[in-house]
Amino acid sequence: MINSDYLNNLNKAQKDAVLCLDGPLLIVAGAGSGKTKVLTSRIAHIINEKKAFPNQILSVTFTNKAAKEMQNRISSMLKSQNIGLSWLGTFHSICAKLLRKHASAAGLTSNFTILDTDDQVRLIKNICKAENIDIKQLAPKYVLSIIDRWKNKGFYPKDVILDKRDIYEKTVQPLYKIYQQKLLDLNACDFSDLILHTVKILEKNLDIREIYTNNFKYILVDEYQDTNYIQSKWLYLLAEKHKNICCVGDDDQSIYSWRGAEIKNFLDFDKVYQNSKIIRLEENYRSSQNILSVASNLIENNQNRVGKTLRTTMEKGDLVSLNCFKNGKDEAIAVADEIEKKLKINFSFNNIAILVRAIFQTREFEERFLKVGIPYRILGGTKFYERAEIKDCVAYLRMVYQPKDDLAFDRIINNPKRSIGESTIKLIHEYSKNNSLNLEISSKKLIELNLIKPKTKIGLSSFLFLMEKWRNDLNIKKISHVKLLQLILDESGYSAMLKNKKDVDNENKLENIKELLSAMKEFDNLESFLEHVSLATSIDQEWDGEKINMMTMHGSKGLEFDVVFLPGWEEGLFPHQKSIEEKGQNGLEEERRLAYVGITRAKKKALISFSMNRFYQGDWIDSMPSRFIEELPEKFIEKNSFFDENENDENDFEFNQDFEIDEENNYKSPGWIRYQKRIK
């Protein structure tokens, strides 16, 4: 017997969405509007009204976590643990189930293997080797990203339409053909194949399609704004008979185009599914009204959206803070002080988050938190000094500073590749152990004794020569530690490795290294910097108890916190220049949706900030406030600036000195002056 009050706990719009069972339905669910509650209540209602048996309901999510949560909620509503929702799961899990039943139609057997990312990379590496493709120039992961993009569009190798703007697609297309054949030979498929094969089977085999179109009387889809072409095609095929498809999502939270998501699926729902209904869930149960008003006003600047107006029954709450700082260091100091002096009294650390546009931005906050002892965690990422590329750079510096540092030697001897294989490294270690010598001296001795293979000898000798040169640069020529790292990155080939290799992760790595160069400028010499890094990495950050959360805005979707800091709202950084350059107006609108997502993570307090100067790659750069700042509604925000009050006009920011920056030599930067002209 179903819980009798399950409908009574819904507001009017939610109830309408649950009761509207016939025909296509698009539920536009604003942030914090209870979409999961609606989805689960709708499934419970379908079963309770005997509109369909549980195994006739297809319910699709994007994550296993979401699927499990829905299963548990429905079981609780129906007061049963065995309700038989056999078709509730992710796109990939459901398609894998279908594909195993009809594997022969895709040239596979039912016991096919699903390759993970590592397996895929190894397979592409082997193919590239056989085809004489240099993986130093074209990374296997990048090859796979192009193949994945094609599969998301429904393209097998023969269907590919080359994008002339992408110079790599022409090279990848024949590799894609070989890759797919290898998968068939292995009786295997990758994750994208699970959906692509299933769609092609349904398209080409009407008898198979009829089985499922007859069976699935109701289809429910969560996070519909995140679907790609092939996912939407699969849903369309399965819904063709009963047409009882209900898609839930928020076009204002469509932020994953870089993963293949197409907002067009959401915006064109009523065109694809004739006679469809649209219900808007506009009552927010998360945030205060002031926060919602700021987010709503901002997102209204987007043209490509269905449109809705969020409201809440909660109090207006605090105004959204807009804070201007002299530089990024001041910004980090102020955030730490605000947390220490005020927020920790009323809020737990676990309910405070710092959301950044790019992961390199966490560095200054990490530095400050470590200095003042505020515990933190990086969600969905790695702490700054623990990132691989940062550890590589530090290892080079350690080796220059201390020739006996065998751990550093091990890390960098073949990074980037110098034709120094495992057997050579093993030989160096054995010689070191037997003769009580460090690894660098052991390497020199082995070369002198002519015990190193000729090809390996060239690479090893070059490495040892550069080490001596860099020590001379540091100790004799007295170059700065910042300049030293720049030389190391150039002369070792490390920068070229990242710049020349087309890899999906390399852009972030380069940004992190630039941020490292900025960090080094704050120290007088190499010794003090290395000491700082050692202390930073040795501090136990796995304390029990509460921690401040740091993550990208992309990684924050679906989460909520009492207090949210949104730093770095500057042109070029946010909105990100690359996004605008590559996608134009569509890119700008997605960046604005990202801002909307960031603001609506906050329940009680949202604090936006920007700096007039950024320390970038060892130099001060004047920055301009993000164009999004001009789109924030004045009556819902509180402006604070942390320059000398006497240096500014009366019409400038209201000088509410809630943050105390105890720094000398405050000044008006060129960026600040330009900003004042813009806001007048």
Which range is least confidently modeled, 83-87, 284-288, 583-587, 674-678? Answer: 674-678
pLDDT (0 to 100) of residue 7: 83
Asked if residues 365 and 537 have their Cβ atoms less than 8 Å apart, the reply is no
Give the pLDDT band of residue 157 (cuts 50, 70, 90).
Answer: very high
Active site residues: 35-36, 222-223, 253, 601
Write down the residue that tokens 């990202």 correspond to.
594
pLDDT (0 to 100) of residue 652: 41
Tell me whether strands 561-566 and 602-611 are parallel, antiparallel or unpaired.
Answer: parallel
Q: What's the average model confidence in pLDDT over 545-549?
A: 88
pLDDT (0 to 100) of residue 552: 95
- Compute how many other C-beta atoms are within 10 angstroms of the C-beta atom of residue 248: 24
Alpha carbon of residue 276 to chain centroid: 33
| pLDDT tens by residue, 614-651 | 876 556 778 899 999 999 999 999 998 765 544 444 33
- 361/355 Cα distance (integer angstroms): 9
| DSSP 3-state of 613 | strand
The sheet that has 548-552: what strands, in order across it?
Answer: 376-378, 548-552, 352-356, 561-566, 602-611, 320-325, 637-641
Give pTM, 2 decimals: 0.81
The CA distances from residue 33 to 26, 30, 248, 593, in Å, are 15, 5, 11, 17
| DSSP 3-state of 164 | coil
Question: Treating both helix axes as pointing N-terminal to C-terminal, what angle do 388-401 and 454-475 enclose, rounded to 10 degrees?
Answer: 70
Question: Treating both helix axes as pointing N-terminal to C-terminal, what angle do 91-101 and 191-204 enclose, rounded to 10 degrees?
Answer: 50
| pLDDT tens by residue, 389-403 | 999 999 999 999 999
